[in-house]
């Protein structure tokens, strides 16, 4: 493949590229333009090198399989650092290293690391190219696999470079696969410099620097400094039979059905009535407040970097439907006729596993549990027609949710914005025996941002509180729990498409048409407030999903206050006061469970 060196009118970008080239010593430099011709040339190069395997051209045209090194299959939290000047600004929620020490440590690994390789300059825009909410970056990498994925995941190429030249500011990201030695692997973030440095990994979250590194860790810092929000949230539009669409932003930790909710297919009864669901984004949400206080949101990403195992015709048919063309698969298995395969598919049988070995169940699953697909968002059948609008979409509701087998009801509404920030700060999941050896250990994951907030969580909570201004039109805040279990250890709520029943109530609360009962933990629906037609829920489910256990919640708030205390003086007193107020109300109730009434 003939690679060319292109120039840029932006002096600071040229100077940075030259300095990186002097450090890393590449054989040549290629400025990416994002064109189809460039993409095809890179894929031909990777096929020739053995980095990509073409899949069945009849069933999966322009689809490829990539196999990463077996030691390089996921994000590495213990090697991920956030490096502001002061350790307190990183907070206990981040690993910190002094900036000078971090630069010296990682630059020593970058020295000469691109000898014999091509240095790719990848200009990209996170968000619609003409959106005022969008922000740009440039990733330098020696991985053509990263270039191909960034083309799917961002608005990459000439248009992004033109915006960077107009604005003169961009996030700098330097990446090299290095020698893939786990002992020489780091992901460093320098928020005060708007810079990311990552070496030793080719895996998406560590190497596609526009994703978690820019869009969340650096993005959250940018958002705090500039007065907006960068969140680990899906964005979904719910259209009712009257043709009204309400947009919901929702934060869930991993393994809580986030992508499934973003691409939800309504139950048959709802579809027959005319309900529709529109996917704006499945992972990241950037929100800015307009002058009237309304939050407007964009999905900064242009594609999906989704987990393949578990994606199937029953769990997420919309996701499955977009994966039969123009996709890159990473660490999945292969069938005899060269089709991608992973656990959760109904059809086909693997003959080769994710490491390229003959499939043997004794060696483990055919697809790595964190196997991925990368695909353009526009291929999703439920892709929203307004997902590319520069202004974004108006958010009616923010939904938080964790995986709680006990205590937490199906859904409740925060009393106001301050209470809602506490609900988000306190959100948690309970571990399982299979994962940790201990059942029911509650792990806090505030706003699902624990691995991704680029600064001190206490300051992050204060930033959220700052949006509550007189006369504002802030969205209502809710908490959901799809994972409540009964005495027999089985889930009480069917989940998946039936979650729309809960979102219908959420939208009704936003419109002022749905009923709720005030409780200390928030506004709670009665079973009769939610459309349960055709579900045949058990008497136990009806009782448990819609109740409040004052004694259990009292213990919960003791734990919440202890958690908030970890952030010391950085934690806003308003959240402590809110927690104390709710705890006092719970104590006044006694021990009898409280149920919402119709």
Between vectors from CA 391 to CA 249 and to CA 386, what angle results, nearest 5°? 70
Question: Which two structure tokens, joined as six digits, stand for 246?
Answer: 């309400």
Would residue 493 count as lying in a domain? yes
Q: How high is the pLDDT of residue 592? A: 73
Would residue 60 count as lying in a domain? no
Backbone angles phi and psi of 461, in degrees to 5? -60, -40
DSSP states along 374-394: EEEGGGSTTB-TTTT-TT-EE
Would residue 64 count as lying in a domain? no
Judgement on whether residues 244 and 280 belong to the same structural domain of the protein: yes
Whole-Å CA distances, 10 to 167, 191, 198: 10, 22, 24
Would residue 62 count as lying in a domain? no
Q: In which band, very low, low, confident or very high, does the pLDDT at 595 lie, cut at 50, 70 and 90?
A: confident
Judgement on whether residues 357 and 450 belong to the same structural domain of the protein: no
Judgement on whether residues 188 and 334 belong to the same structural domain of the protein: no
Q: How high is the pLDDT of residue 593? A: 74
Q: pLDDT tens digits for 271-303?
A: 999 999 999 999 999 999 999 999 999 999 999
Judgement on whether residues 130 and 270 belong to the same structural domain of the protein: no
Task: Give the span between the Cα atoms of 192 and 12, in whole angstroms.
Answer: 17
Q: pLDDT tens digits for 146-169?
A: 999 999 999 999 999 999 999 999
State the pTM of this model: 0.95
Annotated binding site for GTP: 255-260, 372, 403, 496-499
Last residue of a domain, one of 209, 227, 245: 227
Last residue of a domain, one of 379, 413, 444: 379
Q: Determine the straight-line distance between the first and last CA of the chain, rounded to whole angstroms.
A: 69
Annotated binding site for substrate: 75, 203-205, 254, 370-372
Would residue 66 count as lying in a domain? no
Percentage of the chain lying above the pLDDT 70 cut: 96
Would residue 251 count as lying in a domain? yes
Would residue 5 count as lying in a domain? no
Judgement on whether residues 320 and 239 belong to the same structural domain of the protein: no
Identify the CA nearest to 330 among candidates 368, 372, 365: 372
Q: Where are the alpha helices (DSSP H) in 184-250?
A: 204-207, 219-226
Other Cβ atoms less than 10 A from the Cβ of 498: the count is 18
DSSP states along 122-180: EEEEES-TT-TT-EEEEEEES-HHHHHHHHHHSEESHHHHHHHHHH---EEEEEE-TT-
Strand arrangement, sheet containing 350-352 = 340-341, 333-335, 350-352
Domain containing 352: what range? 303-379
Q: How high is the pLDDT of residue 7? A: 47
Whole-Å CA distances, 21 to 105, 138, 194, 353: 18, 14, 19, 38
Task: Give the span between the Cα atoms of 50 and 524, in whole angstroms.
Answer: 56
Judgement on whether residues 315 and 439 belong to the same structural domain of the protein: no
Span 84-95, mean pLDDT?
A: 98
Q: pLDDT tens digits for 226-248?
A: 999 999 999 999 999 999 999 99
Annotated binding site for Mn(2+): 212, 232, 283
Last residue of a domain, one of 201, 227, 253: 227
CATH of the domain at 260: 3.90.228.20
Judgement on whether residues 289 and 346 belong to the same structural domain of the protein: no
Q: How high is the pLDDT of residue 1? A: 36
Would residue 417 count as lying in a domain? yes
Q: pLDDT tens digits for 415-450?
A: 999 999 999 999 999 865 434 345 568 899 999 999
Residue 157, CA atoms < 13 Å, CB-side half-sphere:
13
Judgement on whether residues 288 and 307 belong to the same structural domain of the protein: no
CATH of the domain at 358: 2.170.8.10
Judgement on whether residues 307 and 295 belong to the same structural domain of the protein: no
Domain count, the chain: 3
Judgement on whether residues 279 and 266 belong to the same structural domain of the protein: yes
> Is a pLDDT exceeding 70 seen at residue 3?
no
Judgement on whether residues 421 and 558 belong to the same structural domain of the protein: yes
**Residues recognised as catalytic:** 256
Annotated binding site: 75, 203-205, 212, 232, 254-260, 283, 370-372, 403, 496-499
CATH of the domain at 83: 3.40.449.10
Span 503-517, mean pLDDT?
A: 97
Judgement on whether residues 449 and 461 belong to the same structural domain of the protein: yes
> Is a pLDDT exceeding 90 seen at residue 4?
no
Span 38-65, mean pLDDT?
A: 98
Q: How high is the pLDDT of residue 597? A: 62
Contacts of 513 (CB under 8 A, 6+ apart): none
| Secondary structure class of 548 (helix, strand, coil) | strand
Span 552-561, mean pLDDT?
A: 96
């Amino acid at each position: 493949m003939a690679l060319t060196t292109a120039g840029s009118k932006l002096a600071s970008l040229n100077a940075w590229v030259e300095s990186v080239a002097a450090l890393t010593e590449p054989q040549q430099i290629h400025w990416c333009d994002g064109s189809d011709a460039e993409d095809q040339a890179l894929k031909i190069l990777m096929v020739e090198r053995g980095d990509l395997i073409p899949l069945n051209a009849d069933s999966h045209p322009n689809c490829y399989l990539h196999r990463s090194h077996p030691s390089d299959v996921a994000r590495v939290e213990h090697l991920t650092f956030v490096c502001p000047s002061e350790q307190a600004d990183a907070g206990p929620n981040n690993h910190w290293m002094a900036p000078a020490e971090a630069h010296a440590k990682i630059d020593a690994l970058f020295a000469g690391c691109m000898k014999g390789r091509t240095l790719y300059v990848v200009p990209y825009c996170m968000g619609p190219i003409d959106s005022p909410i969008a922000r740009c970056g440039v990733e330098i990498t020696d991985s053509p696999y990263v270039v191909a994925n960034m083309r799917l995941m961002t608005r990459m190429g000439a248009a992004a470079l033109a915006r960077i030249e107009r604005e003169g500011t961009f996030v700098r990201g330097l990446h090299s696969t290095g020698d893939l030695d786990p002992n020489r692997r780091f992901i460093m973030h320098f928020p005060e410099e708007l810079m990311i440095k990552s070496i030793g990994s080719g895996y998406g979250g560590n190497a596609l620097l526009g994703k978690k590194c820019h869009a969340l860790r650096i993005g959250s810092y940018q958002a705090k400094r500039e007065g907006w929000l960068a969140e680990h949230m899906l964005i979904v539009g719910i259209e009712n039979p009257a043709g009204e669409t309400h947009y919901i932003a929702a934060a869930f930790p991993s393994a809580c059905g986030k992508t499934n909710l973003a691409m939800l297919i309504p139950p048959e009864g709802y579809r027959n009535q005319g309900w529709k669901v529109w996917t704006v984004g499945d992972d990241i949400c950037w929100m800015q407040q307009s002058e009237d206080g309304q939050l407007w949101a964009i999905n900064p990403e242009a594609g999906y970097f989704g987990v393949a195992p578990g994606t199937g015709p029953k769990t997420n048919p919309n996701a499955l439907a977009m994966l039969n063309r123009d996709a890159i698969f990473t660490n999945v298995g292969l069938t005899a006729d060269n089709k991608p395969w992973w656990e959760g598919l109904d059809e086909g049988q693997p003959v080769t596993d994710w490491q390229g070995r003959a499939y043997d169940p004794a060696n483990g699953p055919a697809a790595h549990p964190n196997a991925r697909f990368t695909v353009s968002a526009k291929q999703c059948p439920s892709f929203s027609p307004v997902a590319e609008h520069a202004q974004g979409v108006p958010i009616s509701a923010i939904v938080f949710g964790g995986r709680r087998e006990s205590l937490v009801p199906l859904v409740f509404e925060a009393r106001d914005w301050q209470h809602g920030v506490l609900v988000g700060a306190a959100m948690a999941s309970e571990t399982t025996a299979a994962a940790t050896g201990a059942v029911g250990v509650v792990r806090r994951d505030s706003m699902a941002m624990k691995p991704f907030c680029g600064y001190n969580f206490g300051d992050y909570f204060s930033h959220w509180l700052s949006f509550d201004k007189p006369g504002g039109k802030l969205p209502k805040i809710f908490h959901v729990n799809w994972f409540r279990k009964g005495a027999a250890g089985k889930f009480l709520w069917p989940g998946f498409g039936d979650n729309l029943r809960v979102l219908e109530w959420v939208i009704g609360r936003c419109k002022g048409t749905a009923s709720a009962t005030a409780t200390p933990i928030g506004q709670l629906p009665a079973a009769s407030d939610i459309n349960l037609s055709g579900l045949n829920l058990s008497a136990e489910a009806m009782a448990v999903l819609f109740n409040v256990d004052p004694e259990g919640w009292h213990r919960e708030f003791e734990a919440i206050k202890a958690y908030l205390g970890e952030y010391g003086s950085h934690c806003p007193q308003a959240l402590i006061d809110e927690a104390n107020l709710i705890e006092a109300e719970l104590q006044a109730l006694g021990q009898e469970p409280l149920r919402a009434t119709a």
